[in-house]
């Protein structure tokens, strides 16, 4: 599957990967026929710790999340590995840990620690040579050569697009499989990324973020091969939960929200109760 994914990401047709952030979103997305899932660091940290994606989650927090998601999914999963959680030895540990946990690839970024979400202000980056060393270590640390290394640069916001493109080319030479120039701020900047870089490119589609939200056809035309939608799931869930809870708060009952809720019987099936009930019948005394 990983080998097929590597080949697939070289094709002109875009791969669109929804962001999964907990086991419910994972189960829903996994049954929908996507070619790839993306474990979002923002969403995983928010759902696990209730905290912002600002370097507060540890390697242990995140590799456990990767193992749970990849272990349940039948769809390949690329997981956010932040900065690698430290220096070069930490990067080796992170790559090996994510791979052993079942991920099909890892995303690593060139921010200073503590990192911040890519569509928020105040991000600073480490020297390009230091990140290139991280990418080289990541590539040599994987056991399966088809485990994908996604190199992300956050240099656009603080140092400009030219520097971001220069860094992406350095990371490509260091051994990255996909390149991710974070938060370009116009379609023209996205066009320049597509015209300049040769490896498969990642577009980060964050609703109301810093980057234009484009269609599949527009992204393909600009040269992108993978579009991730890290925030869509938790933004949708947050809005739906707030509406349902508001109905309870205002009326004292959930009856007014019934038409907006996931069917309870279907949710039982989604979460795996059918297997439990079959087991109970098979082992009934």
- The predicted pLDDT at position 122 comes to 66
- The predicted pLDDT at position 114 comes to 72
- The predicted pLDDT at position 285 comes to 64
pLDDT means per 10 residues, the chain with 285 residues, are 81 97 98 98 96 92 97 97 96 98 98 72 88 98 97 95 98 98 97 97 96 98 98 97 97 95 96 95 86
Residue 229 β-bridge partners: 18
Instruction: Give, in order, the Cα–Cα distances in Å from 235 to each of 19, 25, 26, 121, 147.
Output: 11, 12, 15, 20, 29
Domain ranges of the chain: 2-231, 238-282
- The predicted pLDDT at position 283 comes to 94
Residue 202 β-bridge partners: 226
The DSSP symbol for 14 reads P
CATH architecture of 2-231: Alpha-Beta Barrel (3.20)
Instruction: Give, in order, the Cα–Cα distances in Å from 182 to each of 96, 117, 193, 271.
Output: 25, 10, 11, 34
- The predicted pLDDT at position 116 comes to 67
Instruction: Give, in order, the Cα–Cα distances in Å from 24 to each of 81, 157, 268.
Output: 21, 33, 11
Q: Which residues contact 89 (CB under 8 A, 6 or more apart)?
A: none
């Amino acid at each position: 599957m990983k080998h097929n994914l590597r080949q697939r990401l070289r094709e002109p047709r875009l791969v669109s990967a929804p962001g999964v952030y907990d086991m419910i979103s994972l189960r829903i997305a996994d049954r929908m026929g996507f070619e790839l899932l993306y474990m979002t660091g923002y969403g995983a940290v928010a759902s696990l710790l209730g905290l912002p994606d600002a370097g507060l989650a540890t390697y242990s927090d995140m590799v456990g999340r990767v193992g749970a998601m990849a272990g349940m999914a039948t769809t390949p999963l690329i997981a956010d590995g932040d900065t690698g959680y430290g220096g070069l030895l930490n990067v080796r540990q992170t790559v090996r840990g994510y791979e052993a946990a079942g991920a099909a690839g890892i995303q690593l970024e060139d921010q200073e620690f503590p990192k911040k979400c890519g569509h928020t202000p105040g991000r600073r980056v480490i020297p390009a040579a230091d990140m290139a060393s991280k990418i080289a270590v990541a590539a040599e640390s994987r056991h399966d050569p088809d485990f994908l290394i996604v190199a992300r640069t956050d240099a656009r916001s603080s140092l400009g697009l030219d520097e971001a493109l220069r860094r992406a080319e350095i990371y490509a030479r260091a051994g990255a499989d996909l390149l991710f120039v974070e938060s370009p701020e116009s379609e023209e900047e996205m066009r320049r990324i597509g015209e300049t870089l040769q490896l498969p490119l990642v577009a980060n589609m964050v609703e109301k973020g810093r980057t234009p939200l484009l269609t599949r056809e527009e992204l393909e035309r600009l040269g992108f091969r993978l579009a991730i939608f890290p925030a869509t799931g938790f933004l949708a869930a947050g809005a739906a939960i707030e509406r349902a809870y508001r109905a309870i708060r205002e009326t004292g009952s959930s009856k007014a929200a019934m038409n907006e809720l996931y069917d309870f019987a279907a949710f039982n099936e989604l979460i795996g109760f059918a297997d439990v009930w079959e087991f109970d019948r098979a082992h009934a005394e």
